[in-house]
């Protein structure tokens, strides 16, 4: 099966890290970006600076905000809910009764 361009790039970076050459490629990229930013003028410079400031702001917000979930990924949360829903009975009345009892025992609903 053929790799997508993103997968190829990921393997390329992994191999560079194995060989210890990732510092060289990072330095080359830093120099390339420095010349790119140096050559920006007028409207393109303003647009670039605005987008960069916006991305920095969002990064700081995400970094400083507390994680909203105890699960590390959406997939792990979906997996846990799938396991629980599989174990519930098919009868809607019984299902409702069990969920209500669990919610009360956890403290989500008043007793």
Angstrom CA distances, 51 to 44, 45, 47, 61, 63, stand at: 11, 10, 6, 15, 18
Is there a contact between 71 and 80 (Cβ–Cβ < 8 Å)?
yes
Which residues fall within 8 angstroms of residue 3, CB to CB, at 6 or more apart?
A: 11
Is there a contact between 101 and 93 (Cβ–Cβ < 8 Å)?
no
Q: 69 pLDDT band (50/70/90 cuts)? A: low
**Global confidence as pTM:** 0.46
Q: Is the pLDDT of residue 52 over 90?
A: yes
- Residue 88: the pLDDT is 94
Q: Please state, rounded to an integer, the average pLDDT across all residues of the chain.
A: 91
The Cα 79–Cα 87 span in angstroms is 13
Quick one: tokens of 53?
């400031």
Q: Is the pLDDT of residue 6 over 90?
A: yes
């Amino acid at each position: 099966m053929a790799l997508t361009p993103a997968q190829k790039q990921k393997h390329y970076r992994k191999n560079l890290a194995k060989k210890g050459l990732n510092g060289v490629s990072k330095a080359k990229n830093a120099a390339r970006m420095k010349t790119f930013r140096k050559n920006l003028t007028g409207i393109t410079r303003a647009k670039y600076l605005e987008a960069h400031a916006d991305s920095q702001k969002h990064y700081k917000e995400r970094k400083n905000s507390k994680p909203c979930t105890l699960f590390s990924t959406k997939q792990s949360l979906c997996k846990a809910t799938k396991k629980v829903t599989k174990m519930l009975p098919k009868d809607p009345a019984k299902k409702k009764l069990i969920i209500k009892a669990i919610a009360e025992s956890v403290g989500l609903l008043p007793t």
